[in-house]
Structure 1
Amino acid sequence: MVGKVDYSSVPTTVDLENNTNQKKYTINQPNHKGLVISRPLCALMAVGALLMALLAGLVVFFLVPRYCDGQTAPEAITEPRTPKNLAINGVVDGEVDERLPRSLEPTLYSIRIRPDFQNSSTSGTITMALHVLEETDEIIFHVRSITISPQSVVVKSKEPNSSPIPVKGQDYLKGDRYRIKLESKMEKKKLYDLDLEFEGELNGHLQGFYKSRYHDQAGHERVIASTQFSPTDARRAFPCFDEPSFKANFAISLARPRDMTTLANMPLANSSKLGNNSDWFWDSYPPTPKISTYLVAFMVSDLKPGSSSDASIKVWSRQSLLSQTSYAAQLAPKILRYFESYFDIKFPLPKIDVVAVPEFGFSAMENWGLITFRESSLLFDPIESTNDDKRTIATVLSHEIARQWFGNLVTPKWWDDLWLKEGFATYMEYKGVDYAQPTWRIEDEFLPCETERAMAADALASSRPISFEVKNSRQIRQTFDDISYAKGASIIRMMNHFLGEETFKKGLINFLRKFNNSNADRNDLFASLTEEAHKSEILLKNETVKDIMTTWTERAGFPVVHCMADYEKNKLHIFQRRFYLTDKEEKSTWWIPLSFTAFSPNGTNFSNTKPQFWLRGEYEIEESVDLTEWYLLNIDKTGYFIVNYDEKNWLSLVDHVMDLPPSVRAQLIADSTELARANLLSYHVPLKLIAKMAVLDEGIMFVPTWVALEKLKFLSDILSATPAFGLFEEYHRAIFKTTYERVTFEDPVDDYITRRIRSTVLEWSCRSPDSRCAHESRTRFRQWMITGAKIAPNLREIVYCTAIREGGEIEWDFAYRKYLEVETPSEKNMLLDALGCTRLRWLLSRYLGKLTNDTSIRIQDADRVFESVARNKIGTNIAFDFLRKNWNELLSHYGDGFNIVAKMIKSLAAQMSTEFQLSELKRFRDNIKENISTTSSAFDNAIETVKANVEWMEKNYHQVEQWLQKYKDHFDYIQ
């Protein structure tokens, strides 16, 4: 058992930073000189200890049941150890291998399960049909928080008139495994049935088969039971072979009260009374197609279906929110039909139920035929919801529907290829939304949303390869991160562009058909794409997609491509190295596709993103090109890398920035700011580039403006406590002066992009407390408090945060009461974010306290609350201290299922930039290393991010301060 770490005597960051009386802190120092033990007393104590040990041994010898030969009784007779103890003692070791032997494979599960809402428990029976691949006398499968009745276990051959095989023993193993030892071996290629009874729990961690609560319109608490099995939590609901390669059919029967309904992967087959009890019924479902355990799903609830134009797709929610299901009901069929056409494979199940679950850990889960969502990711109120809410619903819905093919129809063999489903779903979600909402031009947002998000994590030395070995649940859970999702999507986008859309698409279709209803790994995908690439002569016969992509999937990080031009000889000297934010060098090499264009007086071609030349794993190459005014590599940043040019080309690109497409402007801003942050480029380039674009961009192009402001946020955060911060504030207000003036609080019924621009710009124009924007926010919030005058939904995020930041306890309490009152999920999220904006430290502390002592904050929202405080410059140290003081309680309360505590750790790093903060973060990590749970990689990333911030202050601060001082009188017309 892991002991509780006591931090009661450890000074907090606030204690140390506010140590005005110069008190010296000593950790665990006794008040007196200490306890002295004499030698005779010490010897007497040692003898006593030996006698106690001998007595314990005798008790064990005589009380444990034994046979004549002296062996202990088989555990089939004694009661097996409880899995709860095992979960504490066994899973602590991060090296425990949970993978099962390959001697057996399940073919059909017949499951009957009954939830007990009053006692938060379940009871059930299961029959597993097993196919023997290799002769064995053991059956090993997964369970967690489940008790199996040893007397109920029966193993029997499917052959007629066969007798059960006697059970020799049963025990729980480390790694969530249960072993049944048989008296004789099961024969190879034969079929057997395993029958058993079990009891489980309806837990409160939103994992496995869990209990969810909500309040109806009358204020009555309602309870439902739902599932979340990905990645390794089906074992919490029923005994199973809980690995993706063990695909099987599942026939499920659920017990329900009369006033509730059930849902499962397949349509309902029949209902019957549960014995003579007229208040309970069994709902039975036909067998599913072959699927992995993590895609099985079922529910017992009082949720209702909304209206739908497509009979095969129903959208469910609680009764009071049914009107908010219409948008998803309209969108889902469009996206589903698009992917059926794109993949040229019909959706194979007879129905899809799309369900808004009141409490849900992920944004959504792609269970085959029963897709479950967090309410804020599915429900749209035409009056109360925002433009961003609509975007979230569309992208998450598209993501989950895309996974019905990439993940469900064809499933990764193991979790080391998680990106095969998550990366593809992330990439394909943009295609699905672009089809359903073409005016949004959402594919333009891929760069800031995915590529930049991936690179932020991948620029750290602590980053990991996309594909790497994982052995157990703890390691698997940590792979659900920006590397699997965003980097996975980014390298898939790169493949699309170097292969071309048609070749890429044909390769995908062949891959899906070949491994239909089966499992595959990355090499299977690469082989299908290579076959098409050779047919279309995209790649040379001696080149394969595997050759190219192995350098991207099995190596952490990404390259920076340095390009030096010889303008007299029209040659480019190109070399690569791994990009790091910290002061570190590594000569890793990748296969890099290099698209190229250059200025032409007859019109520059920005549309050809296929590579004109390659770095084929070489460190450097030289290419002949035509050079005039400027040149550009990696058009639209379709390749997953950064480009650094010679100084002459950088300055020429800055001068011609408004001649470039908006996507290229965004690319140059993103690359130059990161290069400067890593001390590979003078800050003169990005600061001048952003200033020039901001002043001359009369149309306020959304994506480059968004990227510019996102990149400036790093400077704002790191300079916030320095003398240069005032200069930085003058800089952004001067260059975006016209933008801030043109974007007002008026919110007519504009198009998607205009509203995205408005929310992005207003967030920055409200930063200053004496700005017109901040004054307008306070006024509107006050009117809401006094008269109830509603604030337009698309303005609420800015108004709420600004008014609470500039207000006091009255504003904070009013917003918190509204959070408790409102029912719209997206409105609740906005209020949770805004409550962390206050500048009052005691309010921030009170807010964080609700995570451990107040049920008003749901488990699914805990990281949101913590992050809202941590990203507040005043709240960072308060959040860190709260995490240290409540570490064990947070781990216990929030579990390890959704990386909630890991997200808390990561959110701290942006505002930390001192050696003291870095040492405190490291010290905390070391203190809890025996109870670090699934947060080890989060600590590594956070520590390295803070280290990079510290290095930035040492190497770049004075450069930026001097530049801002030099140009402060003419930011808006820098030459």
Structure 2
Amino acid sequence: MVSYYNQGVPTTVDLENNSNQKKYTINRTSHRGLVISRPLCALMAIGALLLALLVGLLVFFLLPRYCTSEETPEALVKSETSDARVFAADAVVEDVDERLPRSLEPTHYRIQIVPNFDNLTTSGALTILLKPKEDVNKIILNVNNITIDKHSVVVKSTKSGSVPIAINDQDYIAGQRYRIVLDENLKSGGEYELALKYNGELNRHLQGFYLSRFNDRLGNERYAAATQFSPTDARRAFPCFDEPSFKSKFTISLARPSNMTSLSNMPISSTDLSVDQNNSYHWDHYPETPKMSTYLVAFIISNLKSLSSNNSHIKVWAREEFLGHTRYASEIAPKILHYFENYFGLTFPLPKMDIVAVPEFGFSAMENWGLITFRESSLLFDPDSSTTEDQRTIATVLSHEIAHQWFGNLVTPKWWNDLWLKEGFATYLQYFGVDFAQPDWKITEEFIAIEMQKAMGIDSLESTRPISFEVKSSRQIRQAFDEISYSKGAAIIRMMNHFLGDEVFKNGLINFLRIHANDNADRQDLFASLTEEAHRAGVLLQNETVKDIMDTWTEKAGFPIITCIADYEKNRLHITQKRFYLNDKDERSSWWVPLSFTTSRAPNFEDTRPKFWLRGEYEIMEDVGYLNEWYLLNLNQTGYYIVNYDEKNWKALIQNIMDLPTLTRAQLISDSMELARANMLDYDIPLRMIARMAVQDTNIMFVPTWVAFKKLKFLSDILSATPAFGHFEEYHRAIFKATYSVVTFDDKVDQYITRRIRQTVLEWSCMSPDSACVHQSRSKFRQLMINDHSVEPNLRAIVYCTAVREGTEIEWDFAYRRYLETQSPSEKNLLLDALGCTKLEWLLSRYIDKLTDDPSIRIQDADRVFESVAKNRAGTQIAFDFLRKNWNKLLDHYGEGFNILAKMIKALAPHMNTEFQLSEFERFRSSIRSNISTTTIAFNSAIERVKSNVEWMNKNYNQVADWLIKYKEHFAYL
């Protein structure tokens, strides 16, 4: 495989067979090189001109010339329209508009596809029914790494007796597209048929129709062929109109070896045997699907098995040795499906739902209609090796994908600029589905700790983007699958739910789904349905619309900080808004902000409806009746914003923190720490608040404790190489002293929340090398090494990481061998994380080098390995140097499908806080700017985070260091 920057001039063969579509340059030597005199240079230039003239004359007189009506020879067409040329143009101009014309509507695909596992190719036959919306003589559709047999292309009317329409030209064009030019127009209102044959590939990038290799329990190599089409990779499997608005019906036939089975969106209708001169195949034929977008089409050819189930409509598939691990998913999937059917009042419209654990899979899961595909670790639960966190992941991801069957599949966004319309809803609704299936978890309380924090973390940067934004190319589309679409989308949907009320919100969603079922919609369609219901219920004034409110949240980047200053004598609040920036940039910007409110006089945390609004104003004055000890805005953080109060109120909230609900504690800790980080609040406020809660919270409530630890992690990371770090550790150990003594390895309570608390606390407890946690972890790991004494699953992450961190090469090698030997997906993940915990830099270098030289590290796990090294204080520079050195090789190996390199870039920022590191990061981005792929947004946000870290050190370090020293003696007695 040729790298991005070749060691010499690429040959003609290199260019024509450049299947990975890379750019080439000629390397320059690092020395002075060859010096050519000026006269010799002039002679060489004259010679070159004469040679070019001679070649031109020879070509003109000797080559045969063709009439324009005749087809250009295949060899010449191929050399001129190679994918390498097309992709090179795309690589330079990232915002090239790749969208297809709207003049044709595909209504039905007939797909027949044959995978060849021997040479990793595919062959297919395709027929598409087309309805022109206007007279047009061009057909443009998407292809990527597909070779169309030009002689097989036929276009004709579906009317009886119609003859093929003459094709004037056909060619590959920029933007992963193929153009067919006809001699006559396709007439508006008619129906036409496009038929062709093509060849593709079973690639190893986990995109399109791809090959998955794995070993069974006996060590024998097995393989399967699976699909991942979202967002723009159906075009890798068959030529198509690969945009969400081109919904069609699909009739699919799959050829498979006799020892394998196949799955697709619909149940198999029939099977027959086909024998040709080389192979015999079983053909599985599937009935016509409902109307759906190409990214939701799916098929799998494999040896996977399923357990018999009481629910004949739902089956969970996995490797035979993992069938027992599908039981948990089999139990909760029907419950979650039933919940959403009742919630939406709409029955799941397909005749079956297959849920499949694919041995190699790029995303966590994919919502293909009727055939939901998963990464094994996101679906399989083994009581002997899986953790509570694994169980939570399985439940939430499964609920997310089932929610998509309505939001995304039944009603699909018109274009990727409204990706949040499906991903935000699936993220928000997943908490409802899990809460129904596992009510004892109280998982809805985790929303602000998980989704809100994730969204605000990226949305507080200048480099963030609006939820709805223009995308034109595949690269831009891939980068839209981020925290903004998922978590911020979910957060503003939650805000809508609360300011409209549950009943209005639910009825509005149901109306939206019924109106647009089996079709496409955009955010304005959603807002219209919600507005109609809100007006009917009197929730909004007749001159107010959901669009008025929500356009400010979907079309504007960032979120507001609401500053509230109380006039305690007049019982009045002065409320202002502006955009919150992590770097404390001052920018006036306004949103429609729902403001819920309560006070200490009559506290009510249940009523989250807005008490008053900021209707796009920068400031308002509100009379609130009576102000006593404290007051609060944004109850349970149902609004997507943070609040800063006057000093008197902050101090009152600190004093009464334990009288407030757990979600409010988490919210206040989060808001105050972010305000202090942005230099808008003295660190004395949040550090005192956390200390008071930590000392007094004898019950150790999970959500506020988790948020406090997460916010303190920023201080731990940024102070790690400074003189103040020791003082910070003393502060942390002192305030959480009782917590550390209560939460131990001996806690055997088998409850979700208890286990989540234990995991959170022990991770911090084991950071101190001389703690009891470290000694116990090393002892348990030693017993595992010597006597094969198994470690309790929920303690493994802590035990493995701690033992490897405090150990030597012996512990590291043992963990790596165990990774190679175990079949458990969950155990593999834990060990990959643990291997990056070592403090020995040469071992970290050895580990990260495996990304390029060890096939046992799968593509789907690459970002996990990199992040485990990058987040290690000893490994950040090692990871950065590795990325710089191997950029081209990594991009070539991992491709662009799953933002793997983008995740690597983001992982570097937490421990970078110097001007030198910032300049090196910026220099690296500049050096690969022409080859930046799908990492533009990741680079922008990571570099901005490093800048904010540098600014923090300049503005806040001395304040925090002095505070920690000043209160050192006080906290020693807590």
Instruction: Decide whether aligned partners of structure 1 residues 898 and 846 sit closer, same or farther in structure 2, where only a CA change above 3 A counts.
Output: same
Name the amino acid aligned to 1:623.
E
Verify: 1:127 aligned to 2:127, yes or no.
yes
Deviations 1:835-885 (A, max 9, x none): 000011111111111101110000000000000000000100000000000
Name the amino acid aligned to 2:337.
L
Following TM superposition, by how much is the alpha carbon of 1:307 offset from its aligned partner in structure 2, in angstroms?
3.0
Which blocks of at least 5 consecutive residues in structure 2 are unaligned? 9-26
- The question of whether the paired residues in 1 share the 8 Å contact of 2:3 and 2:892 is answered with no
Match of 2:569 in 1: 568
Following TM superposition, by how much is the alpha carbon of 1:161 offset from its aligned partner in structure 2, in angstroms?
0.8
Match of 1:531 in 2: 532
Match of 2:38 in 1: 39
Verify: 1:683 aligned to 2:699, yes or no.
no
Following TM superposition, by how much is the alpha carbon of 1:583 offset from its aligned partner in structure 2, in angstroms?
3.8
Counterpart secondary structure, 2:311: coil
Match of 2:286 in 1: 285
Match of 1:297 in 2: 298
Deviations 1:342-395 (A, max 9, x none): 000000000000000000000000000000000000000022111111100000
With 745-754 and 85-94 compared, the bigger mean Cα shift is at: 85-94
Q: Distance in 2 between matches of 1:4 and 1:909?
A: 26
Instruction: Decide whether aligned partners of structure 1 residues 59 and 658 sit closer, same or farther in structure 2, where only a CA change above 3 A counts.
Output: farther
Match of 1:162 in 2: 162
Counterpart secondary structure, 1:969: helix
Following TM superposition, by how much is the alpha carbon of 1:95 offset from its aligned partner in structure 2, in angstroms?
2.1
- The question of whether the paired residues in 2 share the 8 Å contact of 1:99 and 1:472 is answered with yes
- The question of whether the paired residues in 2 share the 8 Å contact of 1:343 and 1:508 is answered with yes
Q: Distance in 1 between matches of 2:87 and 2:70?
A: 25
Verify: 1:960 aligned to 2:960, yes or no.
yes
Structure 1 stretches of 4+ with a deviation exceeding 6 A read: none
Q: Distance in 2 between matches of 1:227 and 1:519?
A: 23
Deviations 1:549-579 (A, max 9, x none): 0000001100000000111111100000100
Following TM superposition, by how much is the alpha carbon of 1:40 offset from its aligned partner in structure 2, in angstroms?
1.3
Name the amino acid aligned to 1:502.
E
- The question of whether the paired residues in 2 share the 8 Å contact of 1:209 and 1:225 is answered with yes
Match of 1:610 in 2: 609
Match of 1:91 in 2: 90
Name the amino acid aligned to 2:309.
S
Name the amino acid aligned to 2:541.
L
Name the amino acid aligned to 1:103.
S
Counterpart secondary structure, 1:204: coil
- The question of whether the paired residues in 1 share the 8 Å contact of 2:3 and 2:889 is answered with no
Q: Distance in 2 between matches of 1:395 and 1:740?
A: 29
Match of 2:862 in 1: 862
Pairs aligned (count): 952
Match of 1:306 in 2: 307
Match of 1:11 in 2: none
Q: Distance in 1 between matches of 2:311 and 2:808?
A: 50
Verify: 1:393 aligned to 2:394, yes or no.
yes
Counterpart secondary structure, 1:664: helix
Give the TM-score normalised by the residue count of structure 2: 0.96
Following TM superposition, by how much is the alpha carbon of 1:90 offset from its aligned partner in structure 2, in angstroms?
3.4
With 38-47 and 420-429 compared, the bigger mean Cα shift is at: 38-47
Match of 1:760 in 2: 760
Match of 1:909 in 2: 909
- The question of whether the paired residues in 2 share the 8 Å contact of 1:76 and 1:170 is answered with no
Match of 1:787 in 2: 787
Match of 2:103 in 1: 103
Following TM superposition, by how much is the alpha carbon of 1:276 offset from its aligned partner in structure 2, in angstroms?
5.6
- The question of whether the paired residues in 2 share the 8 Å contact of 1:268 and 1:286 is answered with yes
Name the amino acid aligned to 1:900.
I
Which residues of 2 match residues 918-933 of structure 1 at below 5 A? 918-933=918-933
Following TM superposition, by how much is the alpha carbon of 1:789 offset from its aligned partner in structure 2, in angstroms?
0.6
Q: Distance in 2 between matches of 1:732 and 1:533?
A: 48
Deviations 1:588-613 (A, max 9, x none): 1000000000002xx51111111000
Q: Distance in 1 between matches of 2:928 and 2:800?
A: 37
Match of 1:705 in 2: 705
Match of 2:630 in 1: 630
Deviations 1:714-769 (A, max 9, x none): 00000000000000000000000000010000242421000000000000000011
With 866-875 and 46-55 compared, the bigger mean Cα shift is at: 46-55
Match of 2:143 in 1: 143
Instruction: Decide whether aligned partners of structure 1 residues 31 and 190 sit closer, same or farther in structure 2, where only a CA change above 3 A counts.
Output: closer
Give the TM-score normalised by the residue count of structure 1: 0.96
Match of 1:815 in 2: 815
Q: Distance in 1 between matches of 2:310 and 2:688?
A: 53
Which residues of 2 match residues 313-712 of structure 1 at below 5 A? 313-600=314-601, 603-625=602-624, 626-712=626-712
Q: Distance in 1 between matches of 2:53 and 2:774?
A: 75
Q: Distance in 2 between matches of 1:859 and 1:183?
A: 46
Name the amino acid aligned to 1:320.
E
Q: Distance in 2 between matches of 1:473 and 1:62?
A: 44
Deviations 1:900-939 (A, max 9, x none): 0000000000110000000000000001000000000000
Following TM superposition, by how much is the alpha carbon of 1:63 offset from its aligned partner in structure 2, in angstroms?
6.5
Q: Distance in 2 between matches of 1:120 and 1:314?
A: 29
Deviations 1:52-97 (A, max 9, x none): 332443455457653357x984478964456542453232120221
Name the amino acid aligned to 1:833.
D
Name the amino acid aligned to 1:88.
F
Instruction: Decide whether aligned partners of structure 1 residues 63 and 954 sit closer, same or farther in structure 2, where only a CA change above 3 A counts.
Output: farther
With 178-187 and 964-973 compared, the bigger mean Cα shift is at: 964-973
Following TM superposition, by how much is the alpha carbon of 1:973 offset from its aligned partner in structure 2, in angstroms?
6.5
With 433-442 and 576-585 compared, the bigger mean Cα shift is at: 576-585
Match of 2:884 in 1: 884
Instruction: Decide whether aligned partners of structure 1 residues 115 and 962 sit closer, same or farther in structure 2, where only a CA change above 3 A counts.
Output: same
Deviations 1:270-296 (A, max 9, x none): 000113678411100001000000000
Match of 1:49 in 2: 48
Which residues of 2 match residues 216-255 of structure 1 at below 5 A? 216-255=216-255
- The question of whether the paired residues in 2 share the 8 Å contact of 1:65 and 1:73 is answered with no
- The question of whether the paired residues in 2 share the 8 Å contact of 1:695 and 1:972 is answered with no
Instruction: Decide whether aligned partners of structure 1 residues 422 and 68 sit closer, same or farther in structure 2, where only a CA change above 3 A counts.
Output: closer
Instruction: Decide whether aligned partners of structure 1 residues 324 and 918 sit closer, same or farther in structure 2, where only a CA change above 3 A counts.
Output: same
Q: Distance in 2 between matches of 1:446 and 1:301?
A: 37
Deviations 1:488-510 (A, max 9, x none): 00000000000000000000000
Q: Distance in 2 between matches of 1:232 and 1:76?
A: 28
Q: Distance in 2 between matches of 1:878 and 1:824?
A: 29
Which residues of 2 match residues 185-224 of structure 1 at below 5 A? 185-224=185-224
Following TM superposition, by how much is the alpha carbon of 1:31 offset from its aligned partner in structure 2, in angstroms?
5.3
Identity rate, percent: 66
- The question of whether the paired residues in 1 share the 8 Å contact of 2:584 and 2:680 is answered with no
Match of 1:14 in 2: none
- The question of whether the paired residues in 2 share the 8 Å contact of 1:245 and 1:412 is answered with yes
Instruction: Decide whether aligned partners of structure 1 residues 266 and 29 sit closer, same or farther in structure 2, where only a CA change above 3 A counts.
Output: closer
Which blocks of at least 5 consecutive residues in structure 1 are unaligned? 9-26
Match of 1:15 in 2: none
Q: Distance in 2 between matches of 1:378 and 1:733?
A: 37
Instruction: Decide whether aligned partners of structure 1 residues 68 and 609 sit closer, same or farther in structure 2, where only a CA change above 3 A counts.
Output: closer
Match of 1:24 in 2: none
Match of 1:152 in 2: 152
Instruction: Decide whether aligned partners of structure 1 residues 62 and 73 sit closer, same or farther in structure 2, where only a CA change above 3 A counts.
Output: farther
Q: Distance in 2 between matches of 1:7 and 1:957?
A: 47
Name the amino acid aligned to 2:116.
D
Name the amino acid aligned to 1:597.
T
Q: Distance in 2 between matches of 1:757 and 1:411?
A: 39
Match of 1:22 in 2: none
- The question of whether the paired residues in 1 share the 8 Å contact of 2:534 and 2:540 is answered with yes
Name the amino acid aligned to 1:797.
A
Following TM superposition, by how much is the alpha carbon of 1:38 offset from its aligned partner in structure 2, in angstroms?
2.4
Q: Distance in 2 between matches of 1:574 and 1:119?
A: 67
Counterpart secondary structure, 2:848: helix
Match of 2:12 in 1: none
